[in-house]
Amino acid sequence: MTTAATDKRRVILDAAVRVFARQGFHTCRVSDIADEAGVAYGLVYHYFSSKEQILDTLFLERWDVMLAAIAEADESPRAPQDKLGAIAGFIIDSYRHDPDLMKVIIVEVTRAANTFGLTHLGKIRDAYAGIAAIVAGAQQEGRFRTDVTPEFAAQAFYGSVEQVLTGWIFDSTPVGEEELERAKTMIVQTICCGLELQSTGPGKKSA
């Protein structure tokens, strides 16, 4: 059944990403999506039960992939720094691959505390929990400091990544490949090693 039928569904979803990214979920009309997809208005309702369900579908499709990426990083035998690097890399690559989709997910779902945020709160929390698990593991191995809770560290880490993406989303000039790659290492550097210069020897600052 992966014929014209499923194709049109996909066409509508892809059009919705572009329209949501351009105009925002609340501001756009369903007819905008239909027009963008080159499809009759009614067909949207043949494949989706509501405007909201389109956004839900887009979010879940992508978020489930991310949860898998987080789980995979956690299970890998790498150092915790590299696990976090893998997650940051995955998110940044997601942006590279489809900036519009990431914009929609971040702006319309992840940060929308009222409407959709609440619907998908569980899924969103799963992501934080996965990151927190990595931090907790690193603490137990004595590799990460224990005076910052894993939950807090997860928020700080994810927040940094999302904020960097938000910066790109808002930015009028497109982001270069180089900058994307550079961001990956800078995130890990900042969160794992901190901004302070490790004053090796003289003025030692204790926690």
- Applying CB under 8 A, the residues found at the interface with a copy of itself are 22-24, 26-27, 81, 103, 106-107, 111-115, 117-118, 121, 124, 128, 135, 138, 142-145, 147-149, 152-153, 155-156, 158-164, 166-167, 169-170, 183, 186-187, 189-198, 205, 207
Residues lying near DNA in the complex (CB under 7 A) are found at 4-5, 8, 28-31, 39-43, 45-46, 49-52
Instruction: Record the tokens describing residue 4, joined without a space.
Output: 């014209």
How far apart are alpha carbons 90 and 88 in whole angstroms?
5
Look-up: residue for tokens 């995130």? 187
Q: Which does 133 bind (CB under 5 to 8 A by kind): a copy of itself, DNA, none?
A: none
**What's the min distance (Å) between Cβ of 46 and a copy of itself?**
26
**113 touches, from a copy of itself, DNA, none (C-beta below 5 to 8 Å by class):** a copy of itself
The distance of closest approach from Cβ of residue 12 to DNA in the complex, given in angstroms and rounded to an integer, is 9
Closer residue to a copy of itself in complex, CB, 4/195? 195
Contact partner, 5, from a copy of itself, DNA, none, Cβ < 5-8 Å per class: DNA
Q: Give every CB contact of residue 132 below 8 A, 6+ residues apart in sequence.
A: 150, 151, 153, 154
Tokens of residue 148, six digits: 């910052």
**In angstroms, how far is CA 117 from the centroid of its own chain?**
13
- Token pair 């020897």: residue: 201
Nearer to DNA, 42 or 202 (CB): 42
Distance of CA 187 to the CA centre of its chain: 14
The nearest distance, CB 13 to DNA, in angstroms, is: 13
Q: Minimum CB separation from DNA for residue 120, in Å?
A: 18
Question: Closer CB to DNA, residue 30 or residue 156?
Answer: 30
| Furthest-apart CA atoms within the chain: distance in Å | 72
What value, to the nearest 5°, has the Cα angle with vertex 45 and ends 42 and 46?
90
Minimum CB separation of residue 20 from DNA in Å reads 11
Q: Scanning the structure block, which residue is given the tokens 């992508």?
A: 62
Q: Nearest-CA neighbor of 188 among 155, 149, 161?
A: 161
